Amino acid sequence: MKFPISKFIWFDGKYVTSEKAKVPVTTHAIHYGTSIFEGIRGYWNSENLYIFRLADHLKRFRNSGRFYSISLNFSDNQISNAIVNLCRKNDIRQSCYIRPFYFVGQYGINLHVNEKSPTHVAIYTALFGDLFDKNGITTCVSSWRKFSDATTPTQAKMGGNYLNSILATQECKRNGFDEAILLDLAGNVSEAPGENIFLVRDEQLLTPPISSSALDGITRDTIITLAHDMGYKTIIRKIPKSELYLADEIFLTGTAAEITSIIQIDHKKIGKVGKITKSMIAAYNDVVMNKNDKYSNWLTAVY
């Protein structure tokens, strides 16, 4: 898919053009995956650009680095202002994707990364629409398992962590599906390569716990909150693989994916986008487009 990056990038406190945002080949993060990132959405509602749950993203942004003692050497306020001002400098007046990240710089081949290791911070923006087909996608259960906290912190959005997701995505694409579903090491449902998963059964929402190696996603939390407002109960519990084939509806949630319906798992068809999934999509869209005053505090206006 097209991913046109905007002209200006914020790099270590300065606005530079994209061609000038360069790092040496000896950068530690290139060799060892010592990078931390966030994905954030900005929504244009014809009047203003609204950044969704910016403070929550920045909290996770900093905490992800703390797992590995990698320092984010700018305050949350500095990063927040950088994101807002970068959107202004790029004059973004369409819905967009915002990618802040920080990483260990030139540190040789030393694996003893600590708070004093040299780090850099960069932020770029890109115009961005739908990641997946809004009419629904096909999925398969991957033979690759999601890694667990016994090996790597599952709540850290680290660059290296997503090699697991790449393997699952490659497998599903080779087999002719749009997206993968990963199980945890115990064989229970975990999540998709870059999204959380929800099942609908008997008009209740089910989603795996973080103990199943699922990310404590911000969009996941948004859906749980909105579902409660709408009178739907959300049950967070371990979900055996077999329940995937009994669900009335299934959808994925994530910053890039938003709410995406699953219409087929493996070779079992689930059907068109379901009633509850449609209602969650509509509720989510109202929030991000600033049409729900109750959650206007989740939005940061750019202009």
The one catalytic residue among 59, 157, 238, 269: 157
Residue type, 195: E
Helix (H) or strand (E) run with residue 135 in it: none
Could you write out the three-class secondary structure of 246-273? Answer: HCCEEEEEECCCEEEEEEEECCEECCCC
Closest alpha carbon to 100 in 113, 109, 87: 87
Contact 299, 290 (CB under 8 A): yes
Q: Rounded CA gap, 221 and 147, in Å? A: 22
C-alpha distances in Å from residue 109, one per residue of 27, 112, 152, 294: 10, 9, 20, 50
Q: 233 CB contacts (<8 Å, ≥6 apart)?
A: 204, 205, 227
How many angstroms separate the CA atoms of 106 and 261, rounded? 43
Each residue of 222-236: b (16+ CB within 10 Å) or e? Answer: bbbbbbeeeebebeb
Distances (CA, A) of 125 to 87, 241, 266: 7, 37, 35
Q: CA 146, CA 222: separation in Å to the nearest integer?
A: 23
Q: Is 157 a catalytic residue?
A: yes
Question: What single letter denotes the amino acid at residue 200?
Answer: V
Tell me the helix, strand and coil percentages in the chain, rounded to 5: 30, 30, 40
Task: Give the residue numbers annotated as catalytic, written as ranges.
Answer: 157
